[in-house]
């Protein structure tokens, strides 16, 4: 069952990444990136990394993608055109939802020992993980956050400069 789920969500991840590249509108690309991040979170769950899956959803699919969507909407000077949605989403979306619901229903119906958990000695605690992230890897963690902040500020500055130059030349 894990292999089926792996291939299903790896396919969603690849389809979302390809859709991200093929979309002409930046908001649709950002939404495709949310599909990719969510699929990666499910793949983390399949690997037994529940903390990373939750962090993937909360940090990347939640906070970072809201920030990206906000910046895209802030920099988008043109008027939005009304569409009926992506044709690819309609063609692939409905069968994908049916497939996901079928897999979830199969897992629930065939689950043995649902609700029981056993601890083994190979589990890393959240305290150990946070020690590695915020002690051993603190510099790369902070450098990444500063680089993301600089990229967003640069995009806003370039957009503002373009607006300012156009009005000054008139």
95 in the same domain as 35: yes
The residue-averaged pLDDT of 77-104 equals 74
Return the number of other C-beta atoms located less than 10 Å from residue 108's C-beta: 9
CATH of the domain at 24: 1.20.120.1200
Three-state SS at 76: coil
Report the pLDDT value the prediction gives residue 74, as an integer from 0 to 100: 74
Residue among 35, 23, 77, 91 nearest 60 (CA): 35
For residue range 16-30, list pLDDT tens digits in order: 999 888 887 777 888
Structural contact between residues 22 and 89, judged by C-beta atoms closer than 8 angstroms: no
Judgement on whether residues 71 and 109 belong to the same structural domain of the protein: yes
Domain shared by 160 and 100, yes or no: no
Q: Please tell me whether residues 127 and 109 are part of one structural domain.
A: no
Res. 70: pLDDT tops 60: yes
Regarding whether 138 and 154 lie in a shared domain, the answer is: yes
Closest alpha carbon to 23 in 9, 13, 14, 33: 33
Dihedral over Cα of 11, 40, 70, 17: its sign: negative
Tell me whether residue 75 is exposed, middle or buried, using C-beta atoms within 10 angstroms of its C-beta: 0 to 12, 13 to 18, 19 or more: middle
Range of the domain at 153: 119-170
Within this chain, do residues 81 and 161 fall inside the same structural domain, yes or no? no
Q: What is the count of structural domains for the chain? A: 2
For the chain, helix, strand, coil in percent to 5 are 80, 0, 20
- Give the residue with greater pLDDT, 86 vs 11: 11
Together in a domain, 91 and 61:
yes
* Mean pLDDT value of segment 71-79: 66
> 143 and 100: one domain?
no
Residues 101 and 139 in one domain: no
pLDDT for 169 equals: 47
Q: What is the mean pLDDT of residues 85-109?
A: 79
Sorted by sequence, the CB contacts under 8 Å of residue 61 that are 6+ apart come out as: 34, 37, 38, 41
Confidence class of residue 87 from pLDDT cuts 50, 70 and 90? confident
How far is CA 170 from each of CA 163, 164, 166, rounded to the nearest angstrom? 12, 11, 7
Q: Are residues 80 and 153 in the same domain?
A: no
pLDDT for the residue 121:
57
């Amino acid at each position: 069952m894990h292999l089926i789920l792996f291939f299903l969500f790896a396919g969603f991840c690849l389809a979302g990444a390809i859709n991200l590249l093929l979309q002409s509108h930046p908001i649709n690309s950002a939404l495709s990136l949310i599909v990719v991040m969510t699929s990666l979170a499910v793949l983390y769950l399949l690997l037994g990394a529940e903390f990373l899956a939750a962090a993937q959803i909360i940090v990347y699919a939640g906070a970072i993608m809201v920030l990206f969507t906000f910046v895209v909407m802030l920099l988008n000077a043109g008027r939005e055109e009304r569409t009926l949605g992506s044709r690819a989403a309609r063609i692939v979306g409905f069968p994908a939802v049916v497939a996901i619901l079928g897999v979830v229903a199969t897992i629930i119906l065939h689950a043995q020992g649902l609700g029981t958990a056993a601890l083994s000695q190979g589990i890393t605690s959240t305290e150990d993980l946070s020690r590695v992230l915020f002690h051993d890897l603190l510099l790369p963690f902070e450098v990444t956050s500063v680089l993301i902040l600089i990229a967003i500020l640069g995009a806003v500055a370039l957009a503002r400069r373009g607006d300012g130059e156009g009005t000054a030349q008139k």
